[in-house]
Structure 1
Amino acid sequence: MSVTIKDVARRAGVSPSTVSRVISKHPRISKETAERVTRVMEELGYHPNSMAKGLVSKATYILGVILPRPAEELFQNYFFHEVLRGILAQANRSGYDLLIASGSSESDELETVKRLVRGRRVDGIILLSSKTKDPLIHFLNEVGFPFVIIGRSPDFPDAPTVDNDNVQAAYDATRHLINQGHERIGFVSGPQELTVSQDRLTGYRQAMLEAGLSISEDWIVEGEFLQETGYRAMSMLMNLPERPTALVVIDDIVAFGVLHGLNELGYSVPQDMCLVGFNNISLSEHTSPPLTSVDIGTYQIGYMTAQTLIKTISKEPLHQTRKIIPHRLIVRGSSVK
């Protein structure tokens, strides 16, 4: 005969409703009671029926994760791998599964989110990126569905977000190159509709202007978060009459493309060009030369995002809707001669 919730309650000396609250991680259940009930469940081999639990609470115990477009970036950029690892760790710890979705176009992406929300297929949604006038954020805010953004929303400044201070991070990266004696510093950016691209470009400009250095718009190249962007940027920048001597690059993967392009053109790093990237992915210290990079705490971003969403779903008060993960500059050979 299978073990029931009443068997667990009887052995633990609590009511069946208390067992149910322990299973659903109710915040008002004491730590001592939760540990005792959990121990008894393990001893008796009791496993909650997630379907039945969902019918009672009208919850799916699934978090939706919306991939940015183009979705193929996810498989080429280690940032997303690490963010998802952090999300998954917190989700599993809290008894949630993940449903990952995307769309081939903006309208398709919006329809996907609407289908998830209206079909109650998830309890909340994580947006892995944010941009200005984002229809996904507008829809989720309008219907009052729990969501958290990685990044920030200019249109909804009070929306729950987890982010870095990207303006300060890019300022610090640029300032590092200025301190190395560079005056002609370029910037390889991501798509300008993304707030992360806007903020890092702002930080770069602030550092340059504060140092009294001029900025040539020819030194700013926009692209996707792909190696191809960095590779293409080199064919443009290195053919300028007055080329930059250092670059702030929006992402380490893009910086790998920069390294490849410079190598093909016969230039050396850091002798001919100094580089600073972002994300400090594991491969960055193994490039030749090792890549200086801004560590933005990618795993922590994912973990904190899932934690914030689960609190929002549970209607727990958020002490602050915008959470900032600290960054630090990891100096390696690509930026120091």
Structure 2
Amino acid sequence: MTARVTQADVARLAGVSQATVSLVLNAEYDRVGEATRRRVLDAITRTGYAANPLAQRLARGRNQIVGVFTYEPVFPSTSADFYFPFLRGIEAEAERRACDLLLFTSAPVADGRRSLTGQGRARLAVTDGCVLLGRGEDKAELARLSEDGFPFVFVGRRELPGGADLAFVGADYIRATADVVRVFLDHGHRRIGFVGAPGGREAHQDRLDGYRTAIRDAGLRPLTIDPDELTPDEIADLARDNRLTGLLLAESHRAEELRAAAGRRGLDVPRDLSLAVLGQPELPLHSDLSWTGFRIPREEMGRQALALLAELIDGRMAERHRLLPCSPQPGETVAAAR
């Protein structure tokens, strides 16, 4: 009978101590150099060593299972799905840290969205912590979860009532939107409007704040248009009647509709009316144009959300509020003002 491979065998082959092998097996990579980690992993592969995962987890007092809770169905049907990069980043970081993911799909549904109250909250207890994702969150529910001391991180900036401290990893929409405004200014635009619903989610408000700040810093007057109150044709009429030469679109799914409405009025994009999209649409734009704007670091947001959660689970001091820079997209839908 072949003798069972032990940690000592792995350590001897890798030329390290058993303590170092243990650190690698426990995914404590910040305490092991990259070259050493790879050498240990290679030795594990060559020897066929298999640690007892249950014993390891019990020894640490944790399951090494992290939950992923979504407030609406976001499981991607294609790689073009808006949520796919978030999930890909979460998965990659979980794999790097040698922990398993548990996707919660059976939480009670209230008013068309999943809930974390009652049974939904109890199910989270099988995990060490949870990454939350989606739009339909209940702020009071999140505040209660935060008070419970259960480790969780939201993908996207969120503010809670009563000053509750919610850990999140989001995108810096304020700076990204201000940078897009400056692209318009550099092209000579001075009458620039913003198309986006007022108030609402933090991501919308951040975009609006970035637009207003940059416009006022340039000595100009903001002009906001609520797309929930107007049709694309009415928005195009409003832009023409107010002699606007550029529009920033917070809701990118309206981009093609607005471009078509401008065309029906003899306005060419970008020659007569420049447009910019503030982030990728949830559904891909079917267009022959490369849209000016910015890209949201979705995969990195997912990765850092899992990394932050791991730090909170370990009880390490961590920056609980992380805003990541967006990538500018020069595109071809902003041209010199006429």
TM-score, structure 1 normalization: 0.77
Give the 4+ runs in structure 1 shifted more than 6 A: 14-18, 130-133, 283-286
2-side partners of 1:22 and 1:40: how far apart? 12
1-side partners of 2:155 and 2:53: how far apart? 29
Inter-CA distance 198–132: structure 2 relative to 1 (3 Å threshold):
farther
Inter-CA distance 16–172: structure 2 relative to 1 (3 Å threshold):
closer
SS at match of 2:180: helix
Residue 280 of structure 1 contacts residue 330 of structure 1 at CA under 8 Å; is this kept in 2?
A: no
Question: Is the aligned partner of 1:154 residue 2:154?
Answer: no
Root mean square deviation of aligned Cα: 4.0
Q: How does 1:72-111 map to 2 (within 5 A)?
A: 78-101=81-104, 104-105=109-110, 109-111=114-116
The match for 1:226 is none
Q: How does 1:165-204 map to 2 (within 5 A)?
A: 165-189=172-196, 192-204=199-211
1-side partners of 2:29 and 2:331: how far apart? 45
Which is worse superposed, 134-143 or 175-184? 175-184
2-side partners of 1:202 and 1:316: how far apart? 33
The amino acid across from 2:27 in the alignment is K
SS at match of 2:322: strand
Q: Deviations over 1:297-324 (max 9, x none)?
A: 3322222222111222222332x22223
Residue 253 of structure 2 contacts residue 285 of structure 2 at CA under 8 Å; is this kept in 1?
A: no
Report the count of equivalent residues. Answer: 325
Aligned-residue offset at 1:194: 1.3
The match for 1:42 is 45
Aligned-residue offset at 1:199: 0.9
Unaligned runs of 5+ residues in structure 1 are 224-231
Aligned-residue offset at 1:221: 2.3
The match for 2:247 is 247
The amino acid across from 1:64 in the alignment is G
The match for 2:310 is 310
The amino acid across from 2:310 in the alignment is I
Aligned-residue offset at 1:41: 2.4
Aligned-residue offset at 1:34: 5.2
2-side partners of 1:28 and 1:237: how far apart? 53
Aligned-residue offset at 1:198: 0.8
Which is worse superposed, 86-95 or 155-164? 155-164
Residue 277 of structure 2 contacts residue 292 of structure 2 at CA under 8 Å; is this kept in 1?
A: yes
Which is worse superposed, 252-261 or 28-37? 28-37
Which structure is higher in helix share?
1
1-side partners of 2:37 and 2:122: how far apart? 31
Residue 177 of structure 1 contacts residue 246 of structure 1 at CA under 8 Å; is this kept in 2?
A: yes
Which is worse superposed, 27-36 or 49-58? 27-36
1-side partners of 2:299 and 2:30: how far apart? 29
Residue 131 of structure 1 contacts residue 194 of structure 1 at CA under 8 Å; is this kept in 2?
A: no
The match for 1:301 is 301
The match for 1:25 is 27
